[in-house]
Amino acid sequence: MKISTNITIFGGTGDLTFRKLVPALYIMRRTGKLAPDARVVIIGRRDYTDDAYRTLARDWVRRFSRLPYTEADWDAFSQSIHYYRMNFSDPTAYSGLADCYAQHEIGAHMFYFAVAPAFFGTITEGLKTLPGLSGSKVVIEKPFGETLEAARVLNEELEGFFGAENIYRIDHYLGKEMIRNVQTIRFANPIFANAWNSQSIESVEISALEDVGVETRGGYYDAAGALKDMVQNHLFQILSILAMERPDNFTSAELHREQLRVLRALRPVDASTLEDTLVLGQYAGYREEPLVSPKSTTETFAAMRLFIDNDRWRGTPFYIRTGKKTGTRQTEVAITFRRSTPETDPDVLIVKVQPTEGVYLRFNIKRPGDTEDIVPAKMDFCQNCILENHINTPEAYERLLTACLNGERAWFSQWDQIELSWNFIEHLRALVAQTALPVHPYEAGNRGPDAARALPEKFGHAWVEEDD
Amino acid sequence: MKISTNITIFGGTGDLTFRKLVPALYIMRRTGKLAPDARVVIIGRRDYTDDAYRTLARDWVRRFSRLPYTEADWDAFSQSIHYYRMNFSDPTAYSGLADCYAQHEIGAHMFYFAVAPAFFGTITEGLKTLPGLSGSKVVIEKPFGETLEAARVLNEELEGFFGAENIYRIDHYLGKEMIRNVQTIRFANPIFANAWNSQSIESVEISALEDVGVETRGGYYDAAGALKDMVQNHLFQILSILAMERPDNFTSAELHREQLRVLRALRPVDASTLEDTLVLGQYAGYREEPLVSPKSTTETFAAMRLFIDNDRWRGTPFYIRTGKKTGTRQTEVAITFRRSTPETDPDVLIVKVQPTEGVYLRFNIKRPGDTEDIVPAKMDFCQNCILENHINTPEAYERLLTACLNGERAWFSQWDQIELSWNFIEHLRALVAQTALPVHPYEAGNRGPDAARALPEKFGHAWVEEDD
């Protein structure tokens, strides 16, 4: 039997595999994005037969599939799943995996490291002992290391064996429908494209608010904090997509280059500008969460005011905020245009990323009736909120796994972007320590501490609050 | 008893008075726009007592009031209505009217000539014989005369007695909510204001389509045709509002001056450019309509392609179309922006005037799902179509009568605008005769003849067709 693509998932009994990867592969098979002769090898330490694992996985697919589950589709797909028990920390265990692969002719390998970064090196060492795997695709998840230095070493090892062009670093925000749509909305609409600069735009906001707290992830989160967990990767990716120059063509190389130029142009922050750049917060009760230090000063909320020092953006602040327990779940981008007069509300273009996917424009009209008063109104396009228009867009992982299979690199993080972002955030962290910047407490259900609200207000701006 | 304003309606038993004027005054009284001590004197030839006329008028108000009729409001208002029987063509009849006025102290007079223009002069002559009416306000309706020359003579007579600043020429399109909104949408939104020129705009369309035929108005219509009935007044008014330069301030004098400059800049048409400027049509069955000549060549549909030769608009065609029996009722303005690439659909801003009042923007997004295809979507603001948002905006006559009472002249037609428009259309008519431009037949229910569709297509454009 010939296997076109062999997908090996390390960490096959973990949450990510059950909630995201297996349901995504199930849909990909249904929708023709995963070939019928592809095989999924699940690697874990527990003892399962193929059938036992399939039965377990089926329950997760039933729960998390974005399309209605059908028995027939599951039966067809589940035959491709094989469970292979091994301790991937044991270098001697890999010879058995070699035997497993050798039973069939395999067109291409793709590895998914759904494990902690501490194991990336170990697994890579193990795979090196097998024949013919150099040059395979490998997918990894952030965090890419405990420290920037550790991540750098790890990256070199991965790139050395698999090749830089075969490392797919998942940033699942890049798989979201409306983040991928930002480019189109911006570049394919001259009324926006022509106004996409500091002459026309007063401020830009990127907001990623969560309703939940740290839940079971207190251990990881307390060491990371909002800056590293959200800003450094997801929000800086969105920032660079929003702000980049139009690439000559939309290849991944050109897109990555333009994104990188944005990060390079971020205005450096020093101790004297830190207070006008960063506000940190921690929700009340965070220190009582499981696995969180009772004296933790980790931020669960961060608000930022950044500048991009290039011709397009000089003078336009980029406001970023993210946090947990904010009383809402909402990721969106807001472009606030300059006002026509000081008395008039600004036009605001909002791209809603989640949970609603859509676009709306706040603009000005005459108040209806016998008056010439000017009042704001809202033109709305909602992709997934109106029943009749309901479009069930692919899940981020489905989209990103498909992109990886097809060798589309545009929507994965490049190492140089990661390194720049990481350096920027590490520098901020050092300034926070040096200046003893406070971490303001906030009540759960608030959109961060009062100081976060005050940050844009000090400069005549405000966070764009959803009115529906 | 003191009467703050005495409104005299000549033609008090006609359709306009019953359908529009009395219901408008009833609402104005309810909403405080007509003072409780104002009086409405209805003049007609038929014999009614006040009570008989009020009873008759009540039925029309019940039917045409935009707010639910209430007995209490009607009782309060109807006491202000007085019927005065006279033959206004008889110069000796006016002394009786003088007696009627002399019974009370009257603060101000407003006259509404809801009669054919042939009677404007007669009535003015009659009113001249009464004391103290010079300088009163007078409201007139188009047509302002049978010919431009006759209209000019009439205008001089009216202006001579009442004063130019007291003539209120009704163009009821200027009373429509969304026509008045065009200014705000355009000037109070920099993303539109900055793009409002030929560099950004590919074409502009003004479309006023009617579902009905000439109905009972065949006699008038057959002598007028679509050009004179619709284009010369309503559509040229809209054109000049859309295209004008931003006035230094929004006074009626400044607005009128800027509108006039647009009409002056209309590119002249000659026999060699007529075919690319004008397409005429006549609906099948028109010649069988009551009071229409069986050999009529009157157009019931007109499509035009015009240019405004100034720096802002050079190179952007203005497409205008209007017609009867088009299978739809729809007045709207569409601004088509230039495309980002030849393959991409253009952004289109549409202002819906009637029956729906709203604004929408056709723009481009990424097709949802695993694709980078660009597809058009629609951001929608509907002022009167969503139940929860439903705003019952004032009727045009209510708005215009109120404006007249308040001396707000901006939303009335100025004589110099009328004269310019009339000359332009008369010149076109002469060219039509000279070149024997065909009047294409079209089936009722079609949006004009095929030649009307072909007019923009010849230049790579198309009429914007509503998709909802």
Percent of residues, chain B, with pLDDT higher than 90: 83
**CA nearest neighbour of A285 among A438, A443, A161:** A443
Q: What is the per-residue pLDDT for A147?
A: 87
Q: Which of A143-152, A172-181, B220-229, B385-394 has the lowest mean pLDDT?
A: B385-394
**Distance to chain A for B192, nearest Cα, Å:** 8
Interface test with A, best of B178, B189, B338 (most A CBs within 10 A): B189
pLDDT of residue B34: 96
Contact B335, B346 (CB under 8 A): no
Lowest mean pLDDT among A50-54, A321-325, B2-6, B145-149: B145-149
**Inter-residue contact B333 to B350 (CB < 8 Å):** yes
> Residue B144 above 90 pLDDT?
no
Inter-residue contact B137 to B111 (CB < 8 Å): yes
pLDDT at B467 over 70: no
For B308-336, write each residue's pLDDT tens digit: 999 999 999 999 999 999 999 999 999 99
Arithmetic mean of pLDDT, A442-452: 97
Closest residue in B to A338 (Cα) is: B190
Confidence class for position A384, pLDDT limits 50, 70, 90 = confident
Is the backbone peptide bond immediately before B143 cis, with ω within 30 degrees of 0?
yes
Q: What is the pLDDT of residues A308-332, one digit of tens each?
A: 999 999 999 999 999 999 999 999 9
Contacts of A180 in chain B (CB under 8 A): 366, 372
Catalytic residue among B82, B104, B172, B234, which? B234
Beta bridge partners of B105: B2
Top residue of A174, A339, A370 to mutate, by most chain B CBs within 10 Å, is: A370
Could you check whether the bond before residue A355 is cis, i.e. omega within 30 degrees of 0? yes
The tens digit of pLDDT for each residue in A342-378 reads 999 999 999 999 888 899 999 999 888 777 889 888 8
pLDDT at B141 over 80: yes
* B172-201 mean pLDDT: 93
Q: To which residue do tokens 């108000």 refer? A: B61
Amino acid at B231: V
Of A193, A366, A399, the CB nearest to B184: A366
Q: What is the pLDDT of residues B49-70, one digit of tens each?
A: 999 999 999 999 999 998 889 9
Chain B residues close to A402, C-beta within 8 Å: 370
How many CB pairs (< 8 A) connect A and B? 152
ipTM of the complex model: 0.84
Q: Is residue A205 very low, low, confident or very high in pLDDT (cuts 50, 70, 90)?
A: very high
CA nearest A390 in B: which residue? B368
For residue B47, the model assigns a pLDDT of 94
Closest CB to B365: pick one of A181, A191, A339. A181
B368 vs A359: CA distance, rounded Å: 13
**CB within 8 Å: A370 and B180:** no
Shortest CA distance to A195 belongs to which of B337, B69, B83? Answer: B337
Q: Do A359 and B370 touch (CB under 8 A)?
A: no
For residue B387, what pLDDT is reported?
A: 42
Of B357, B369, B378, the CB nearest to A393: B369
Q: Taking 70 as the threshold, does the pLDDT of residue B391 lie above it? A: no
The span from the first CA to the last CA of chain B, in angstroms, equals 55
Give tens-digit pLDDT for B342-364. Answer: 999 999 999 999 888 899 999 99
- Quick check: is B234 catalytic? yes
User: What integer pLDDT is reported at residue B168 of this predicted model?
Assistant: 96
d(CA A425, CA A184): 29
Q: What is the pLDDT of residues B105-126, one digit of tens each?
A: 999 999 999 998 889 999 999 9
| Residue A156 Cα to chain centre, angstroms | 23
CB B67 within 8 A of CB B99: no
Q: Evaluate whether A231 touches A411 at the Cβ level (below 8 Å).
A: no
User: What is the tens place of the pLDDT at every residue in B203-223?
Assistant: 999 999 999 999 989 999 999
In this prediction, residue A385 has a pLDDT band, given cuts at 50, 70 and 90, of low
What are A271-287's pLDDT values in tens digits? 999 999 999 999 999 99
Q: Do A364 and B184 touch (CB under 8 A)?
A: yes
- Whole-angstrom distance, CA of residue A110 vs CA of residue A112: 7
Contacts B377 to A, Cβ<8 Å: 359, 381, 383
pTM: 0.88
Chain B closest-CA separation from residue A264 CA (Å):
27
pLDDT score for B95: 93
Give the pLDDT confidence of B261-295 residue by residue, as tens digits.
999 999 999 999 999 999 999 999 999 999 999 99
* Helix (H), strand (E), coil (C) string for chain A: CEEEEEEEEECCCCHHHHHHHHHHHHHHHHCCCCCCCCEEEEEECCCCCHHHHHHHHHHHHHHHCCCCCCHHHHHHHHCCEEEEECCCCCHHHHHHHHHHHHCCEEEEEEEEECCCHHHHHHHHHHHHCCCCCCCCEEEEECCCCCCHHHHHHHHHHHHHHHCHHHEEEECHHHHCHHHHHHHHHHHCCHHHHCCCCCCCEEEEEEEEECCCCCHHHHHHHHHHHHHHHHHHHHHHHHHHHHHCCCCCCCCHHHHHHHHHHHHHCECCCCCCCHHHCEEEEEECCHHHCCCCCCCCCCCCEEEEEECECCCCCCCCCEEEEEECCCCCCEEEEEEEECCCCCCCCCCEEEEEEECCCEEEEEEEEECCCCCCCEEEEEEEEECCCCHHHCCCCCCHHHHHHHHHHCCCCCCCECHHHHHHHHHHHHHHHHHHHHHCCCEEEECCCCCCCHHHHHHHHCCCCCCCCCCC
CA-based nearest distance A338→chain B, Å? 7
Are the beta carbons of A381 and B378 separated by less than 8 Å?
A: yes
Q: Report whether pLDDT(B389) > 50.
A: no
- Closest-CA residue of A relative to B190 is A340
Tell me what pLDDT residue B231 has. 97
pLDDT digits (tens, 9 = 90+) for A106-164: 999 999 999 988 899 999 999 999 999 989 999 998 888 888 999 999 999 999 999 99
CB–CB of A191 and B363 under 8 A? yes
Pairing of strands A318-323, A330-337: unpaired
Q: Please, which pLDDT band fits residue A392 given cuts at 50, 70 and 90?
A: low
What is the C-alpha separation between B386 and B161, in angstroms, rounded?
Answer: 48
Chain B residues in contact with A360 (beta carbon < 8 A):
379
The sign one gets for the Cα dihedral A343, A349, A353, A356 is positive
Task: State the first-to-last Cα distance of chain A, in angstroms, to the nearest integer.
Answer: 55
Counting residues of chain B whose pLDDT is more than 70, the rounded percentage is 98
Q: How far is A464 from chain B (nearest CA, A)?
A: 18
A194 contact residues in B (CB cutoff 8 A) = 194-195, 200
Number of CB atoms found within 10 A of residue A9's CB:
26
State yes or no: pLDDT of B145 exceeds 90. Answer: no
pLDDT higher than threshold 90 for residue B431? yes
Looking at every residue in chain A, the average pLDDT score rounds to 93
Identify the pLDDT of residue A447.
95
Mean pLDDT of B389-407: 82
Spatial separation of the C-alpha atoms in residues B113 and B97, rounded to whole Å? 15
Provide the pLDDT for residue A387.
42
Q: How many CA atoms lie within 13 A of A72 on its CB side?
A: 1
CA dihedral A9, A12, A16, A20 (to 10 degrees): 70
Nearest CA in chain A to B193: A340
Given the residues A109, A172, A234, A256, select the one marked as catalytic.
Answer: A234
Give me the torsion for CA of A192, A198, A201, A205, rounded to 10°. Answer: 100
Which of B176, B340, B341, B391 best tests the A interface by mutation, with the highest count of A CBs <10 A?
A: B340
Closest CA of chain A from B241, distance in Å: 15
Is the Cβ–Cβ distance between B212 and B325 less than 8 Å?
Answer: yes
**CB-CB neighbors (< 8 A) of B194 in chain A:** 194-195, 200
In this prediction, residue A380 carries a pLDDT of 87
- pLDDT score at A468: 43
Mark yes or no for CB contact B177/A399 under 8 Å.
no
